[in-house]
Chain A
Amino acid sequence: MKSKIYLVLSNALMVLLLSSCYQDGPDYYSDLDVVYTNYMDTYKFSDKKTYYMRDKILVDIDVNKNGDTTHVYMKDVYSKPILAEVTAKMKEYGWTPVAANASPNVVIIPAGLSSTTVYYSSYYYYGYYYYYYPSYYVASYTAGTLLLTMIDPTSSNIVGKSPAIWIGAVNGVLTYDYDMSRITRGIDKAFQTSPYLKVN
């Protein structure tokens, strides 16, 4: 009788153990946020002081049936805090904003990108006497990226394009909450990991 009790106890123990073997992971959308930066190591940032950055953030380009393009910009309620944060960090790093026609040393081009991933799965199951129709599960998520590209308008390559001297990208899963803190934290992190941008 005792051996049966031990057998039951050990089986219960193993069931409990294996049932606890679920994997942990991220709990919040912000846990998936990442910041990427890269720069041209041959470029001397310390020789520069002025920059120009437009007051709008490009998010899309519409092309109509005639081939005409229309730029789509981010709404001001979102773009203004973003641009204000970038301006503040540039000032902290010793840069001075100037107008586009004032021959800035560098130009910052902000842009917003998004991509939506849709995934689905289907499964079949059946009862003892009959078969159920398959069930489908569909879900999607949208990831967004704030891209900051810094170029030197005075330099160009053989095809006349100015190469990027610095790129900062903030990426994360988009939500419908008005939570600008994730973006501003990402901008701060992008500058924090780019100490070579300091000119003061």
Chain B
Amino acid sequence: MRKYIYTGLFFALCTFQTINAQDSEGSTALNFKGYTSLSYSIGVPVGNLYNYISTSSFRGATLGYSRFVSPSVSLGLNVSWNVFYQEVPDGTYTYGTASLSGKQYRYSNNAPIIFNANYFFMPNEKLNPYAGLGIGTIYTLRNTDMNLYTLEQEVWNFALQPEIGVNYEIHPRTALTFAVKYYHGFQSGDIKDNQTYLGINLGFTFFHR
């Protein structure tokens, strides 16, 4: 129970600047210095990550903070976490003359830390689409469990992240946000594959001065 309370307090602190907002403000991002976003994130594996875990992740979240450098352009930092999991049915894995048969439980925890730049196409409108590009890193922790043993692999991948999205203003300082991000982590360390997946985010954006 405590962890739920602490988690809620953490996110409340991240967005405390909006608590003192007035209900009637300008309706566009032109009036604000920056914004904080919180989103629920669905991860869809592609490429080599799909070869390891083919099921989508419905356990994910994204937290971001950005500042406007112009009415249409913002720079910021996004941190995400997606957990991929798959139970692989009883299978046989052969290497030379040796064979090992059993169930596997595969986990991939992916945490992108991305510096991004977004361009807003219609900053004066309630419906404000945007596109962006990010650069950063993805921390990947991969566990393959079989019998009583686990094979753990841990890497930091250099990553690029293009993104498209749309904000829909539901309050002068709040918008509903939908975004699709493509995370491309280049191969590194123990994991000889690129870490690539689509992030489908739905959440809130809070504008502040």
* Interface residue ranges, A against B (CB under 8 Å): 1-4, 6-7, 9-15, 17-21, 23-26, 31-41, 141, 143, 171-173, 189, 193-194
Contacts and interface: CB of A to CB of B under 8 A. Distances in A.
Contacts of B87: 24
B99 A38 contact: yes
A35 B173 contact: no
A32 B173 contact: no
22 contacts: A1-B23, A3-B206, A10-B206, A11-B12, A15-B7, A17-B40, A19-B4, A20-B59, A24-B85, A25-B145, A26-B105, A32-B103, A35-B99, A36-B98, A36-B101, A37-B98, A141-B148, A143-B148, A173-B148, A193-B92, A193-B94, A194-B99
Contacts of B204: 6, 9-10
Contacts of B61: 14, 17-18
Contacts of A32: 102-103, 147-148
B78 interface: no
B147 A193 contact: no
Nearest to B95: A38
Given A10-B204, A15-B8, A173-B148, A34 B107 contact: no
Contacts of A189: 101
B105 A24 contact: yes
Given A1-B23, A10-B206, 17 more contacts: A2-B171, A6-B170, A7-B19, A11-B12, A13-B38, A14-B11, A17-B61, A18-B61, A24-B85, A26-B145, A33-B102, A35-B99, A37-B98, A37-B99, A189-B101, A193-B101, A194-B99
B97 interface: yes
A6 B174 contact: yes
What bracket does the count of chain B residues touching chain A fall in? 35 or more
A128 to B, nearest CB: 14
Contact of A10 (B85, B97, B203): B203
Interface string B35-48: 00010100000000
A26 B85 contact: no
Contacts of B151: none
A7 B206 contact: yes
Interface of B: 3-4, 7-8, 11-12, 15, 18-19, 21, 23, 38, 40, 59-61, 81, 83, 85, 87, 92, 94, 97-103, 105, 107, 145-148, 170-171, 173-174, 203-204, 206
Cβ-closest 7 pairs across A and B = A34-B102, A35-B101, A34-B147, A193-B99, A38-B98, A10-B204, A3-B21
Contacts of A9: 204
Contact of B99 (A1, A2, A13, A36): A36
Given A2-B174, A19-B4, A23-B85, A39 B97 contact: yes
B15 A10 contact: yes
Contacts of A34: 100-102, 146-147
